[in-house]
Amino acid sequence: MSSTISDTISEQPRPLPLPLPLPREKKCPFGPAPEATEIRAQSRVVKVTCPTGIDAWLVTRYADVREVMGDPQRFSNHSGQAGHVLANMPPDSPVYEGDFFRMDGPDHIRFRRVFAPAVSTLKRIELFRPMVQRTVDGLLDGLADAKEPIDLHEQFAKPLTTAVIAELLDVPLADRALFHRVAEALFSGKTDVDDLAAARFPLFEYVQDLVVTRRTKPGEDALSVLVTRGQDAEIPFSDIELIKMAAGLLVAGYDTTASLITYGTLALLDSPEQYALLHENPALVPTAVEEIVRLLGVGAGLLRVATVDTEIGGTPVAAGEYVVVAIQAANHDPAEFADPEHLDITRKHNAHIGFGHGPHQCVGQQIARLELSTALATLARRVPSLRLAVPLGDIEFKTETSVAGPVSLPVTWDEVLPAR
């Protein structure tokens, strides 16, 4: 496989037909796909054919990825995001009202100004901290007496992130199936436009009712903040815009974080000395979280489109051409990170781009950090004997989805210590 890629790169400009996301290696499941590593080492930018049939420039080096993501004047989000690389979604479809993740410049900033007070202020995060800790402790208490190995993904990570998102927007936990369905459709490589629309429609209807209620009776939750700030904005937000923002939070916030909690725990258990270090030294939790986001990141590339004739790393890129940025390959670039394939929870220099970079970087990153740090710190403190219940080689990983991670994580332990 590797010699084929090297040969093809040297014969460029013939586009390389690549399955995206590139499957991660089973033998070493924590790094980017070997093809991405090889492309990064060989050539700064290569033309690839995405599964959707579109040709795009694949960018894998850290400096180049940051340049593309940080320069919306040259690289627009209009083409869409991961779904438009992976799935059967035309990247040149119109940008509809409220599609903030496909907007640039002032149109996009208008949305971010309302998102910020709703989800990313320090006050909001601090308000959330006790609830997240209570949920993590409650889940562990419930599992403590399990006689058989448990699936950490299904029984711990998913219920935690679902509860947090439900609390954030103050929606009943019982309605979670609605947003799970959309998240699955959005992040799956098998979804086409019609599937996604069919999954989204009931969610939009549901969120519409929530928006109408919050307009008349606002509470303290993030959705109420979106609605009231949106009403008072210079250009007031329409119901459709608010619905898409709320639905965006419901969908973007749960699968990504759940997968990284599971995947991060697996990486720690595969390096037991790092897990033991976290148990002995809880002050390392913040750097451990950043390291896990860097090492494992999100799976698929994100899509951009060049707005002008330009170049990336010396390669000319014409206006209208697509660009796929490979975040995880960039986060493993040895030009930026020492010993990048190695999990080092004490890593000091770690300017990773696992939450993106530039104007579209993750609005939920502080919430994700809170969930990851509470989950990992509590596991390390209360379950020091946590270990895999099957060999690493038996763990199945998600494929054809833009959010990477194990399908399930069977774990076991000797004892769960009481909560503090």
Name the site residues for ligand HEM (rule: CB under 6 A).
81, 100-101, 112, 119, 248-249, 252-253, 256-257, 260, 298, 302, 354-356, 360-364, 367-368
CB of 215 to ligand HEM, least distance (A): 21
- Our CB check for ligand HEM shows the closer of 156 and 355 to be 355
Closer residue to ligand HEM (CB): 203 or 252? 252
CB of 240 to ligand HEM, least distance (A): 16
Residue with Cβ nearer ligand HEM (225 or 302): 302
3-state secondary structure the chain: CHHHHHHHHHCCCCCEECCCCCCCCCCCCCCCCHHHHHHHHHCCEEEEECCCCCEEEEECCHHHHHHHHCCCCCEECCCCCHHHHHCECCCCCCCCCCCHHHCCHHHHHHHHHHHHHHHHCHHHHHHHHHHHHHHHHHHHHHHCCCCCCEEHHHHHHHHHHHHHHHHHHCCCHHHHHHHHHHHHHHHECCCEHHHHHHHHHHHHHHHHHHHHHHHHCCCCCHHHHHHHHHHHCCCCCCHHHHHHHHHHHHHHCCHHHHHHHHHHHHHHHHCHHHHHHHHHCHHHHHHHHHHHHHHHCCCCCEEEEECCCEEECCEEECCCCEEEECHHHHHCCCCCCCCCCCCCCCCCCCCCCCCCCCCCCCCCHHHHHHHHHHHHHHHHHHCCCCEECCCHHHCCECCCECCCCECCCEEECCCCCCCC
Please give the C-alpha separations between residue 324 and each of 85, 185, 188, 298, in angstroms, as whole numbers.
Answer: 8, 21, 17, 14
Q: Which is nearer to ligand HEM, 5 or 114 (CB)?
A: 114
State the minimum distance, in angstroms, from the CB of residue 91 to ligand HEM. Answer: 13
For tokens 């054809």, name the residue: 400
Q: Measuring CA to CA, how many Å separate 266 from each of 252, 263, 379?
A: 22, 5, 12
C-beta of 70: minimal distance to ligand HEM in Å? 10
Contacts of 124 (CB under 8 A, 6+ apart): 117, 118, 222
Residue number, 16 or 157, with CB nearest to ligand HEM: 157
- Please report how close the Cβ of residue 357 comes to ligand HEM at its closest, in angstroms: 7
Indicate the residue whose CB is closest to ligand HEM.
Answer: 364
Q: Under a CB-based contact definition with an 8 Å cutoff, are residues 103 and 81 in contact? A: no
Tell me whether residue 5 or residue 225 sits nearer to ligand HEM (CB atom): 225
We find the least distance from the C-beta atom of residue 188 to ligand HEM, in angstroms, to be 17
For the chain, what's the residue count? 420
Q: How far is the CB of 114 from ligand HEM (least distance, A)?
A: 11
**For residues 304 and 323, is the Cβ–Cβ distance under 8 A?**
yes
- Write the CA distances from 246 to 85, 201, 202, 373, 412, integer angstroms: 24, 14, 14, 24, 37
Beta carbon nearer to ligand HEM, 5 or 266: 266
Nearer to ligand HEM, 226 or 252 (CB): 252
Shortest distance, position 139 Cβ to ligand HEM, whole Å: 18
Q: How far is the CB of 288 from ligand HEM (least distance, A)?
A: 13
Closest approach, Cβ 189 to ligand HEM, in A, equals 17
CB of 157 to ligand HEM, least distance (A): 11
